[in-house]
Amino acid sequence: MLLADLRLQVLRANQEIARRGLAPHTFGNASGVDRSGSEPLVVIKPSGVDYATLTPADLVVTDLDGKVVEGALRPSSDLDTHTYLYREFPQIGAVVHTHSEFATSWAQAGRPIPCLGTTHADYFHGPVPVTDPLTAEEVAEAYVRNTGAVIVRRFRAEGLDPIAVPGVLVSGHAPFVWGKTPAEAVEHADVLEYIARLAFRSVLLRLGPDHSGVSDSGIPLYVSEHHYQRKHGPRATYGQG
């Protein structure tokens, strides 16, 4: 069986997004990529299979063009988005797609998540971006692949680093997040849902009579920058690394 260790990591990632309530029913998937060989290979959840019944052997191995290399089941219907991100963001090693409640609410509203506090700043270097809606032509031509394309287009347009901003909201759809490993991608998905929930509540509170009109104003840039750099910068002081 190809990529036994990565299969186990991806299996655990899929089980974790279900366990944490980030992917109700089968509304989500996780994948990982192995770039160590001559040809990168992706391990991804099969389409529509319940997380509780998944085994490592059920996972599907494909190349970066989505061609199945090993596996008896049909890969996730979001495969072409995952492979697009792996091709365009060579720094990442895993992708997680969820329909978590609050992050999906921001996506459906077509609104980026502003950096309103230090919890957000610890993980995302600036707002969580939202893509443009797909055009009718993009949907008809190749909906899943073009979902990856609109994500990459947003990052290119804003000059965003996918390591510093490890996730995005697809307008009208839901979040995609990533990391260096499947476990890190799950952590980012969990954090994204948490900060989406905090931001939603913060915006509602700011819409009260004393804060009308300032609902999306964030914390001062010098505070958010300090928090991000102390965790991720060249002189980081957070943790034991």
Concatenating the DSSP letter of every residue in 40-106 gives -EEEEPBTT--GGG--GGGSEEEETT--EEE-SSPBPTTHHHHHHHHHH-TT--EEEE---HHHHHH
Q: Which of 34, 122, 194, 216 is labelled catalytic? A: 122
Q: Is residue 238 part of a domain?
A: no
Give the pLDDT mean for 225-237.
61
Q: For residue range 101-127, what is the model confidence (pLDDT) as tens digits?
A: 999 999 999 999 999 999 999 999 999
Question: What is the number of domains present in the chain?
Answer: 1
Q: State residue 213's pLDDT score.
A: 47
78 has catalytic annotation = no
Chain-centre distance for alpha carbon 86: 12
Q: Is residue 181 part of a domain?
A: yes
Q: Is residue 239 part of a domain?
A: no
238 has catalytic annotation = yes
Strand 60-63: give its sheet, edge to edge: 68-70, 60-63, 41-44, 29-34, 94-97, 175-179, 167-169
Q: Is residue 31 part of a domain?
A: yes
Among 73, 77, 41, 39, which Cα is nearest to 56's? Answer: 73
Q: Domain limits at 82?
A: 4-208+215-232
User: Looking at residue 144, which CATH number applies to its domain?
Assistant: 3.40.225.10
Q: Which of 63, 65, 143, 238 is labelled catalytic? A: 238
Is the whole model's pTM more than 0.85, yes or no? yes
Q: For residue range 37-90, what is the model confidence (pLDDT) as tens digits?
A: 899 999 999 999 998 899 999 999 999 999 999 999 999 999 999 999 999 999
Q: For residue range 126-157, what is the model confidence (pLDDT) as tens digits?
A: 999 999 999 999 999 999 999 999 999 999 99
